[in-house]
Structure 1
Amino acid sequence: MDAAVQVALILLVIVGVLLLIGTPISISIGIGSAVAILSLMDLDKAMITSSQRMFTGINSFSLLAIPFFILAGVIMNNGGIAIRLVNCAKVVSGRLPGSLAHTNIVANMLFGSISGSAVAAAAAVGGTMSPLQEKEGYKREFSAAVNIASAPAGMLIPPSNTLIVYSLVSGGTSVAALFMAGYLPGLLWGLGCMIVAYFLARKYGYKNDNGISFKQALLVFLDAIPSLLLIVIVIGGIIGGVFTATEGSAIAVVYALLLSFIYRTIKVRDLPKILLDSTRTTAIVIFMIGVSSIMSWVMAFTNIPGMLAQALLDFTSNPIMILLIMNLILLVIGTFMDPTPAVLIFTPILLPIALSLGIDPVHFGILMVFNLCIGTITPPVGPVLFVGCKVANLKIENVIRPLLPFFAVAVVMLLIITFIPEISLTIPRLLDLIK
């Protein structure tokens, strides 16, 4: 049997079986990769190669941005920043039908863009908005669907940990270019959610909130400016070349911590718990990157990506069909796998195919993350779906039906982004980040 086929079968069978019996995905990937290496070389060489690849996979200065952004997100989640962003969003969307639903969407975009985490946005903003919407007579299922559907916008609007991981595994695609490329797709995601919420709010008869005066609105904006400045400082510094994405993530931590101390929402005695929470999340992500690096090496060593790419190109040479097939693959993968391992495993497989079609790696990165964002709100794994349901105190089956219109619009937006690459590439080109 050809080595590539043999290794592919080992990985598929072992990882698949372990996932079916409930083994954590990082352990499943690690065990599958170890067995695959043992099929290629003896035990001593396999152990040395595995440890080297795992160390090499996490030995990256750029990767330091992830734990810092995670820590900044945890600090903001505990530091009173969410409520100020919610109040700011309420001013922006207060005159639309179903204003509290639109407030939830805008707040998720703002908080997600600052924290870089869809799960954190769904928890922080949803926890704040759900009681307010229930008090105003909104159906809990509708409120939960709005919160869940809009939270992933923060994975596209920078800073985004998923885009940092893609930069690492794609061979050094510019983080700054990826960040800038994520703005318009992220805004499109939020706009799509607002369109659905608008029509559903009119259907259910939800009112707007136009009672706030200009003076009150100005005070709310002034109160939110320090929180919003975090985006300007971090992203502006990265794009302006003042500091790298890694240095920007450290600045985000310091700024968020100082702001929380000024707001008096975090005390020194709270820091150990905050550090422990962020360390747990960081450990999961970094371990996942390490074991995925072993799998990536095994696949590269046996030329599995090349074999799959050739198989796909033999099936069809039509670029439109290939893009649709890749989207379908990523949509299916996203329903069973978190974005980080999905990016680590499937970028080496799909990116060469995309490059052979002349697709810019920045555009493909946004396309890939957009697909996986849809997966975060899709059963059976969808982390944002589970968190949003928990915050709303609802069962998943009660939320699926209200989510269907949001799914449909997200898929339409995905197709628009797939076949109109200028949406992703215009801002990076204007800033001379790509050619």
Structure 2
Amino acid sequence: MLVAVMFLALLAMVLINVPIAVALAISAVIGLVATEGVSSLVTVGLDMYDGATKFSLIAIPMFVLAGAIMNATGITRRLINFVSALIGFVRGGLAMINIGVSLFFAEISGSAVADVAALGSILIPEMKKRGYSAPFSAAVTSSAASLAIIIPPSIPMILYAVSAETSVEQLFVAGFVPGLLGGLGLMTVAYVFARRYDFPVEGVFEASRLKTTFLEALPTFALPVIILGGIFGGLVTATEAAGLAVIAAILIGLYYREVDLGQLRRAMLDGGMQTAVVMLLVAASVLMGGFLTRAQLPQELAAAILDFTSNKYVILLLLNIFFLIIGFFLHSAAAIILVVPIIVPLIQQAGIDPIHFGLVVTLNLAIGQQTPPVASVLITACSIARANIWEVSKVNVYFVAVLLGVLILCTYVPAVPMMLVDLFYR
């Protein structure tokens, strides 16, 4: 009964636009006071502080900062020029460039919203100038950004690893193959659109231009080598790789001698606010997680579902449907922090690998970033393109179908996400 009251209080506060982190903390305090008395509030501040200062979480602001430095030092522009020279000769090549650069950029920023804001502001206006419709431009940019969060590094993966007490590095490795498969799928859909609507070709393939742009962008390629090579090789943790990515981005920016201080300042402020929102959610989730654990709710939920079925693939189907639904209404960080601690006992008892499940959760929430009413990434893309969200959604449904296909493949063919994990870690 108490849990039901807490949930209703949480829902009511969210509906009147109380920030989710604040609503979550208040609901947890209500539960603690009701069950353990006012004396239980003595350690609330310390518990929240400890929860928000875990070592793994330091990676979040570091990856966001690395992405901000990339945009302010000309790294992103040189990367776009290289990808344009590489695949711009294909019909609809600018859409392909959009997807390819997004997948690369996500390897540094780890954030879909940062990805779409940074790249969309450059590529969407250019696509519109070249004859691409605003809804198509927004849809391809938005979907590519959300898919990119399953490629390491990924802020949602970091949050899941902390919530589920599992390995960040193994999650990063698990996302690599599905991310590349999804990128190829998005490019295929973009090519079909390009053929149907006669989108332009950016130019003929020129080996000399490819060589020139490659040499200009060559220092940029050090970033994924540092991040992925360090993590895959077991040389650094995800958090240490994030710090190295910042240092490398600064050094590359100094090499290019092209720094937009105004843009860097804006990006750092935006990244700081984004990080603060996530950390406050994490801190509030510590209170709720502690209460739920003592109330045995996760264990009761696991027992109820296992009484219904013990087949792990049926359980995965039910959880996929559940996460797809909550993705309509919650941002990915909030969904992970609210739900994952409750679900973990269930996946443990059902024999589901927590790394495999972490990738499934991340893919579900990537799709949620494309489905209104919340759809944070889609809304950002629509704002940049100045396009109606429903018009964009009519086009975006084909790209979302690719994300769903990757989700189904990763859910029921675990070897796809787990092959590299098994190779490097098991």
What TM bracket, shorter-length normalisation? Answer: over 0.9
Which residue is 1:261 aligned to? Answer: 254
Write out the 4+ residue segments of structure 1 that deviate beyond 4 Å after TM superposition: 267-275
Deviations 1:39-78 (A, max 9, x none): 1121122x12422321221232222111211211222232
Which residue is 2:48 aligned to? Answer: 54
Deviations 1:355-401 (A, max 9, x none): 22222111111111011111111111111011101111112122111
- SS of the equivalent of 2:131 reads coil
Which residue is 1:316 aligned to? Answer: 309
Q: Which amino acid aligns with 2:181?
A: L
Distance 1:421 1:39 in 2: 43
Deviations 1:377-428 (A, max 9, x none): 1111111011101111112122111111112222122111100011111011
Distance 2:329 2:52 in 1: 24
- SS of the equivalent of 2:36 reads coil
CA apart distance, 1:333: 1.2
1:41 aligns with 2:68: no
Q: Which amino acid aligns with 2:248?
A: Y
CA apart distance, 1:314: 2.2
CA apart distance, 1:271: 6.0
Using a 3 Å threshold, how does the CA distance of structure 1 residues 273 and 96 change in structure 2: closer, same or farther? closer
Q: Which amino acid aligns with 1:237?
A: G
Using a 3 Å threshold, how does the CA distance of structure 1 residues 271 and 194 change in structure 2: closer, same or farther? closer
| Bigger shift: residues 52-61 or 245-254 | 52-61
Which residue is 1:6 aligned to? Answer: 2
Deviations 1:80-113 (A, max 9, x none): 2222222222233223321111111111111112
Distance 2:296 2:216 in 1: 55
1:79 aligns with 2:73: yes
Distance 1:295 1:156 in 2: 27
Distance 1:150 1:271 in 2: 24
CA apart distance, 1:185: 1.4
Percent identity for Structure 1 against Structure 2: 38
Q: How many residue pairs end up in the alignment?
A: 426
Which residue is 1:23 aligned to? Answer: 18
CA apart distance, 1:208: 2.9
Q: Which amino acid aligns with 1:417?
A: C
- SS of the equivalent of 2:35 reads coil
CA apart distance, 1:163: 1.2
CA apart distance, 1:161: 1.7
1:3-402 aligned within 5 A: 5-7=1-3, 9-45=4-40, 47-171=41-165, 173-266=166-259, 273-402=266-395
CA apart distance, 1:293: 1.3
Q: Which amino acid aligns with 2:316?
A: L
Deviations 1:234-275 (A, max 9, x none): 221233233222222111111112222332332667765554
409, 413, 428: which one pairs with 2:406? 413
Distance 1:145 1:280 in 2: 26
Distance 2:404 2:349 in 1: 25
Q: Quote the RMSD (CA, aligned, Å).
A: 1.8
Q: 2:175–2:359: 8 Å Cα contact kept in structure 1?
A: yes
Distance 1:198 1:211 in 2: 17
Q: 1:335–1:375: 8 Å Cα contact kept in structure 2?
A: yes
- SS of the equivalent of 2:328 reads helix
Q: 2:135–2:392: 8 Å Cα contact kept in structure 1?
A: yes
Structure 2 portions without partners, runs of 5+? none
TM-score, normalised with respect to structure 1:
0.93
